[in-house]
Each structure stands twice: as structure tokens, then as C-alpha cells.
């Protein structure tokens, strides 16, 4: 199949690559750009493990062809920490609040939470649960994921994190 040129900005870096039209964005990120933090779970748009930020929207990258992302700005989990290695507030939150166990869902969950907090910097617990409802976690029962996102929201807003009574 004839390859086509795509241009994108991925984690702040401009890239130009040749891709086959059938290549899914998740395979392009993982196999061509070696950004393997974006995981593949179901490849049928159910699990959210492949979630990335595309033009300021959360997308499941198994549902998008790489050529459809031509010209796009993409952020993956590899683009979340600062250049000096300082963790993003969400990454810190997941670590501090034990928001992961096996970690398979975590990159997609963090990317979804990132967009959620961009759109709603101070979400309620219900808004967090609704916001991540397209991302499945088989391990945690979600409680600590919610706390991790609340921790990050507090840190981003510059207020102390206060754990809600259960
Ligand atoms: S791998 Fe894309 S939604 Fe599951
Ligand atoms: S931590 Fe294992 S799937 Fe979420």
C-alpha cells in the first residue's frame, strides 16, 4: 500500500513520517515513534488504555488512523513530565494516592484525567467518575484513581489536598 507523509507535533516535537493509510494512530505512536507508554488493550474502543490528547481532546488512539492525525498536536504520557523529570501533578497524584496496581490502564487514565482537569479544574467526585467512565481499570476499583485525580486537582489549584471521609 502506498505510504503517505504525515506531519504532527508529538509531545512538543515536530515530526514527519511515512505511514500506510491503514496504520492506526496507536500503532504509529508505539511502533514508529517508539512511544510505548500508550498501551493497547482491546483495540475496539472500549478500554481506554490507548487514550492520548489530540488537538485538546481525549481520543482513543486505536480508533484513529495515523493519517487522520495529520497536522495534529498530540500529547502522550511521555509528554507529561517536565524536561527535568519532575512528575506532572497527575503522575505524582497516582503515585502518592496508590492510583495504580498493574499500571496497564494508567497512561490512558492519566491522559484522560489531564483533559478532564483542563476542561474542569475543580471537578466533583461524580464529575471525575463520569469523566473517566470510558477508561477501564481491572485492578483498583477506581477509588484510589479518583483520589489521585483529586490530589492532582488540588496541587494544580494550589490548595492543600484533603481526603474526603469514606
Ligand atoms: S485499545 Fe483503544 S480503547 Fe482499548
Ligand atoms: S491498575 Fe491494573 S488495570 Fe488499572
Q: Predicted confidence band at 163 (pLDDT cuts at 50, 70, 90)? A: confident
Q: CA-CA distance, 139 to 105, in Å (whole number)? A: 9
Position in ligand 1 atom list of the atom nearest CA 43: 1
40 lines ligand 1 (CB under 6 A): yes
- % pLDDT > 90, the chain: 96
- % pLDDT > 70, the chain: 99
27 lines ligand 1 (CB under 6 A): no
Strands 4-10, 73-75: pairing kind: parallel
Output the pTM of the full model: 0.96
Question: Tell me: the pLDDT tens digits for 119-144?
Answer: 999 999 999 999 999 999 999 999 99
Q: CA-CA distance, 140 to 44, in Å (whole number)? A: 22
For residue 128, give Cα distances in angstroms to 35, 84, 86. Answer: 27, 29, 24
Question: Tell me: the pLDDT tens digits for 16-64?
Answer: 999 999 999 999 999 999 999 999 999 999 999 999 999 999 999 999 9
Measure 42 CA to ligand 2 centroid, in angstroms.
14
pLDDT given at position 166: 63
Amino acid at each position: 500500500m502506498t505510504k503517505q507523509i504525515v506531519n504532527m507535533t508529538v509531545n512538543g516535537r515536530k515530526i514527519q513520517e511515512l505511514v500506510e493509510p491503514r496504520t492506526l494512530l496507536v500503532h504509529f505512536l508505539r511502533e514508529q515513534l517508539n512511544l510505548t507508554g500508550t498501551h493497547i488493550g482491546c483495540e475496539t474502543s472500549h478500554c481506554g488504555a490507548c487514550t492520548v490528547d489530540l488537538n485538546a481532546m481525549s481520543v482513543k488512539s486505536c480508533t484513529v488512523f495515523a493519517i487522520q492525525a495529520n497536522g495534529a498536536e498530540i500529547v502522550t504520557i511521555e509528554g507529561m513530565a517536565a524536561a527535568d523529570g519532575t512528575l506532572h501533578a497527575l503522575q505524582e497524584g497516582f503515585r502518592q494516592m496508590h492510583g495504580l496496581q498493574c499500571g496497564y490502564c494508567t497512561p490512558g487514565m492519566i491522559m484522560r484525567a489531564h483533559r478532564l482537569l483542563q476542561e474542569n479544574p475543580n471537578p466533583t467526585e461524580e464529575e471525575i467518575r463520569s469523566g473517566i467512565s470510558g477508561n477501564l481499570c481491572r485492578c483498583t476499583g477506581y477509588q484510589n484513581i479518583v483520589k489521585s485525580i483529586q490530589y492532582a486537582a488540588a496541587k494544580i489549584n494550589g490548595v492543600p489536598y484533603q481526603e474526603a471521609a469514606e
